[in-house]
Amino acid sequence: MTKISFTGDFLCYPSITKDFGPTYDALFSHAGKLKDCDYLVGNLESPIAGSEMLYTHERYCFNTPEGYAEAMKRAGFDMITLANNHCMDRGEEGIIRTLSNLHKIGFDTIGMYETQEQRDTIFVKEFDGIKVAFINYTYGTNAFAHQRFLTRPYMVNLFQPEETKKGSVHLLDSNEEIAEHVNRIYVEQGEEYECVRPYLEQLKNDIQKAKEQADYVIMIVHSGGQYNIEIDPYTRHLNSLIRSYGPDIIVGHHPHIVQPCDIDNDFVTIYSLGNFVDSPAIIGEQEMNSRYNIVLHLTLDKENGEISVKKQFSLYKVIEENEELYTADTFDLYQKTKDKELRKDILFFVNRFVNSEKFTEVQEIYDL
C-alpha cells in the first residue's frame, strides 16, 4: 500500500525571501504531517536558476534562491512539477540551471527537460510493485509578457503554441472571448487547429505510452483562470480531451485558489488545489480564497494483480500573523481553537472542492 500526496502551487515573492530566507524552514514549520505519505509532489512556480541570473526583482518574473527548494526537500517533498507559466522566467538557460540545482538537491522533476531523449521518456515510479506514471504539461510560459520563446520545444511540455503564436488561447481574456477561441480552434477545427494538432498528438502519445508502461497514470495539468472560481472554457475543454486520452486521474494547478472538481463515477478531474505557499497580504480582495488549499492523497494498493485507489484530501491554510508565515492543517488549527468562523470557512472550502454540501463536520481527511 502506497500513499502519494499532491499539494498546490509554491510561490516565492521577494517579501518571502526578505522575511523568511535564507532557509525558509519557517514556511513548513506546521506541515509535519506531509511526511506521513510515501511520495510528496508539489508544483514550483519559479526557476531555481542561481544568483548569476538575478533573483526575483520584478513583478511576476521569478527566480528563487536555492534555499527555498532545500527547505521543500527537508519538508518531505520528493517530486517537483515544473511545466507551468513561470518555467521560462529566466529563459532556456534558466531551465538548464533549474534542473541541475533541483537534481543536486535530490528531487525528481517532470515537465521541463534538458534533452529530447529526456522529454520522450515517461517518468514511471514503482511503489511496492505498483508502477505509477506522472505526466506534466502547461498551457503556456508567459511568453506574451517576457518575450522569451522556446528555441528547443522539447524543453517544456506544452498543450498549445506559446502565447501570441497562432493557435494559442490566451487565458487572461474573458471567459466569453476564451469560449469563442475554443469554438473556432477546437470545435470548427480550422486553419489554427493545425498549429495545435502536434501538441495534442504529443500529449496523447505520452499518455498512451504511460498506460503501456504503468499501472496507474497521473496527468498533472497547469491551466486555468487565475483567482477565478468559474472554470474557463479552454481548461474545461482541454481536460475533457485529456480524459478521452485515458489517464486515471487529472490533477490541476495555476488558478491559485481552490476550484470545484468534477467527479464522474470513478474518474476525478481536479482543476486547482490552490496555493500551498503564498503571501496572502498581497492578494487584496482574493485574500481569503488564496489562504486555503487542498492536499490530495491517493492510496494505491495491489491485490491479485488488481489496483485499487482510495482518493482523499486534507485542507490546509496559509497563516500570516505576528511576523510569521506558514501553512498548517486546518484540522489541527480547529482542534486548538474551536473557532466558529474557522469551522465555517473550512466547511465552505471542502464543500466547494467536492462541488456539493457533502461535509458537515471538520475532519482530518475527507473522502472524495
Q: Which of 325, 278, 275, 281 is nearest to 25 (CA)?
A: 325
Confidence at residue 283, expressed as pLDDT on a 0 to 100 scale? 53
Please check the confidence at residue 191 and state whether its pLDDT lies above 60: yes
Q: Which residues contact residue 187 at a Cβ distance below 8 angstroms, ignoring those fewer than 6 apart?
A: none
The most distant pair of C-alpha atoms in the chain lies apart, rounded to whole Å, by 59
Please check the confidence at residue 280 and state whether its pLDDT lies above 70: no
Domain range for 330:
2-163+198-367
Please check the confidence at residue 74 and state whether its pLDDT lies above 90: yes
Is 272 part of any domain? yes
CATH number reported for the structural domain that contains residue 285 in this entry: 3.60.21.10
CB 20 within 8 A of CB 324: no
Q: Fill in the amino acid letter for 298.
A: L
Q: How many CB atoms lie within 10 A of CB 204?
A: 15
Please check the confidence at residue 37 and state whether its pLDDT lies above 90: yes
Is 168 part of any domain? no
Instruction: Quote the CA–CA distance of 51 and 70 in Å, as a whole number.
Output: 15
Instruction: Quote the CA–CA distance of 93 and 98 in Å, as a whole number.
Output: 8
- Band of pLDDT at residue 285, cut at 50, 70 and 90: low
Is 187 part of any domain? no
What total of structural domains would you count in the chain? 1
Confidence at residue 59, expressed as pLDDT on a 0 to 100 scale? 86
Please check the confidence at residue 50 and state whether its pLDDT lies above 70: yes
Please check the confidence at residue 258 and state whether its pLDDT lies above 80: yes
Is 180 part of any domain? no
Is 92 part of any domain? yes
Is residue 247 reached through a cis peptide bond, with omega within 30 degrees of 0 on the bond before it?
no
Confidence at residue 286, expressed as pLDDT on a 0 to 100 scale? 63
- Band of pLDDT at residue 321, cut at 50, 70 and 90: confident
**Mean pLDDT across the chain, nearest whole number?**
96
- Band of pLDDT at residue 318, cut at 50, 70 and 90: very high
Tens of pLDDT, residue by residue over 107-152, are: 999 999 999 999 999 999 999 999 999 999 999 999 999 999 999 9
Q: Quick one: how far is CA 153 from the chain centroid?
A: 21
Q: Which of 97, 85, 3 is nearest to 41 (CA)?
A: 3
Q: Quick one: how far is CA 210 from the chain centroid?
A: 19
Please check the confidence at residue 329 and state whether its pLDDT lies above 70: yes
Q: Which of 313, 247, 323, 226 is nearest to 281 (CA)?
A: 323
